[in-house]
Structures are given as structure tokens and as C-alpha cells.
Amino acid sequence: MANDHRGPELPPARGPVSSAVTAYLRGTGPLPRAGDADGIAAYGDDLQLALYVCYELHYRGFAEVAARYEWDPGLLGVRSALEHRFLSALRADTSTHGSLDDALADLLVEPVEGTGVSHYLRDEGRLWQLREYAAQRSLYHLKEADPHAWVLPRLWGRAKAAMAAVEFDEWGGGRAERVHARLFADLMRDLGLDTTYGRYLDAASAEALATVNLMSLFGLHRELRGALVGHFAAVEITSSPGSRRLAEAMRRTGAGPAARFFYDEHVEADAVHEQVVRHDVIGGLLAEEPHLASDVAFGIDATGHLEDRFGGRLLTDWRAGRSSLRTPLAVEITDIS
């Protein structure tokens, strides 16, 4: 994985709000005006990019942006307005389960065969589509587990211990070469992709940005700790069967061994994590704070809502024979599928 400790370059803007945010960080313009976030689409490119840029200041930041901007009061006010717009839309648009038990039970039900992205990639996806999928997912996987770590100081007892145990696995169990972000970079290299952190931010769709922003939104707010646990549960419980299909897709299309290994690793690890998350992370949290059950369910359902939007965007574009990216990838390897 290419490690540039300065962080990536600021991305090109996608609208007036993201333009004002990036100009402010460059020192070339003022922040957006109060209320500007009210008039833009909650799931659209402009809001999602502006929010992603604000959140990235809490991770690696950007090459030309001073670290002090992480806690810039004016920028935090803008971020709050963007978050309010995003979260309000999620609460309005997400179909919610009547109970947490129902939400968890539905996670264990596999989607109708052939309807999901992993089914499509396994059965008929081509290598260029796997590359596009990996490029967009890299916005999360190159910092895999980091957004979920924000919840650790907000848990205690059994939930905290179990969450830390799962995160420890995600970070390689103390072995740098086994850190999942490193393994994903190896996957990208096998697919002929640039492993530089943040390299595909400009190419990624708004739907992809929203799936990553959701984790940061939940993680950076203590009041949303239950929702982050719900998100974590949704990811871990559904990961193993999806990873098995993606590993099969990598084999069928002739991707390299590191590309296959990343998903093979998740088949085994996440099957174990599923039990830990359900019984110890969620169980431990609700033993201490039973009133958070509805928040956990919301986190599960909001995750499904945004993943469905992302999957729908991918499949619509691919079935029409066009790229799912804002900027198609350069042809760096031969599509042998």
C-alpha cells in the first residue's frame, strides 16, 4: 500500500457546497453560508463529497490542509448542517424493522439468488467490473475498521471487550502484514489498481461516498453509538457469504492470489465475528443500555438502505454496459474474463 503521510490531494468539487468547503481548506474562499446545505440533495454528489472531505480531516487529512482544520469551529458548523441533512433523510427514507430481533433475523436471510452485487460478480461479472468495485470500496477498505474504532471509548464491559477483540482481528492481530487494509491494498495491486490512499475519491459515485460517510457519522457522535454498533453488526453478519461469492468471482475472472485471499480471509474471520458481534457486542451493549435497541436497529436498517442504493447504481450501470465510476479507470491490465 502506497503510504503518503501527507494525505491525498483535495478532490475536485462537485457543486457549490463542496466547492466552498475545499476552497476554504485551501485558504482561497469563505465557508458555505448558513442554510446552503438545506437546498442540496441529501444523497447527492455535492453534499456527500463535502461531508466526506470534512470527515477525512479526522483520519489522514489532505496534503495541502493544515492539521488544525480538524477542529476548525466554522467548518464544524458546516459539517453539522450537512450531517443534519443526511441524517434527517436517512431517518425519513429508511424502512425500519419493528424490533431489533427482526432486524437481526433479516440479516441472516440471504438475498434472492442473483439479485445482489456479489451474486452478479460471481456469476457474470467481468474483470473491469471487479476493478471498479474494488476502486470504490477502497475508500473504506484502505482504512478498514478505523471508523468503527470511534465507538470503543463509548462502550464498556462485555461490549467493549468484544468490540476490541474483533477490531484487533481487523488490524491483523498485531501483525502489520495481516492488517486488512494492507490485504486490500494487495488485492488492488493484483487488479492493476493504484493503492495510494484516497486515489479513487474523485472517481467514486455519491452512493459509494454515502456508505463510507455513514460510518463516520455514527462513529463521531456518542449519541449514535447504538447505530454504529448496528452498522458493525450488519457488516459482520452479512460479510461471510458475500465474501465467498466475491472470492469465487476473483477466481473465475483470473484475478491474482492476493485478490482471492482478501475475500477468503473474510469468509473465515467474519463467520466467527458474526457470533461475537451478536452475542457479546450487541448483547453486552443492551445489557448496560437497553434503551439503545432501537438505535441498533436503525443502524442496521440505514446500512441496508445505503448499500441497496450503491448496489442499485452499480448494477444499473453495468447491465447497461457502462462504467459505474464518474471517471472510468485506465486500462492497466488485460480483461481476460
Rounded Cα–Cα distance for residues 52 and 209 (Å): 7
* pTM attached to this predicted model: 0.94
Name the average pLDDT for the chain: 92
pLDDT at position 7 over 80? yes
pLDDT of residue 336: 35
- Bigger pLDDT: 200 vs 37: 200
- Domains present along the chain, CATH in parentheses: 16-93 (no CATH), 100-319 (1.20.910.10)
Query: Long-range contacts of range 38-42, CB-CB < 8 Å, 24 or more positions apart?
Result: 38/81, 38/85, 40/15, 40/16, 40/85, 42/85, 42/86, 42/88, 42/89, 42/90
Compute, in degrees rounded to 10, the torsion defined by CA atoms 205, 328, 18, 63: 110
Confidence band (pLDDT; 50, 70, 90) for 240? confident
Q: Give the CA distances from residue 135 to residues 66, 146, 171, 173, in Å, rounded to whole numbers and listed in that order.
A: 27, 18, 21, 26
Question: Per-residue pLDDT tens for 76-113?
Answer: 999 999 999 999 999 999 998 999 999 999 988 876 56
Cβ(34)–Cβ(218) below 8 Å: no
* 301, 103 Cβ separation under 8 angstroms: yes
- Round to whole Å and give the CA distance between 67 and 70: 6
pLDDT score of 333: 46
Cβ-based neighbours of 28, under 8 Å, separated by 6 or more: none
pLDDT for residue 111: 65
pLDDT value at position 334?
A: 40
Residue 264 to residues 61, 91, 214, Cα–Cα distance (Å): 31, 35, 26
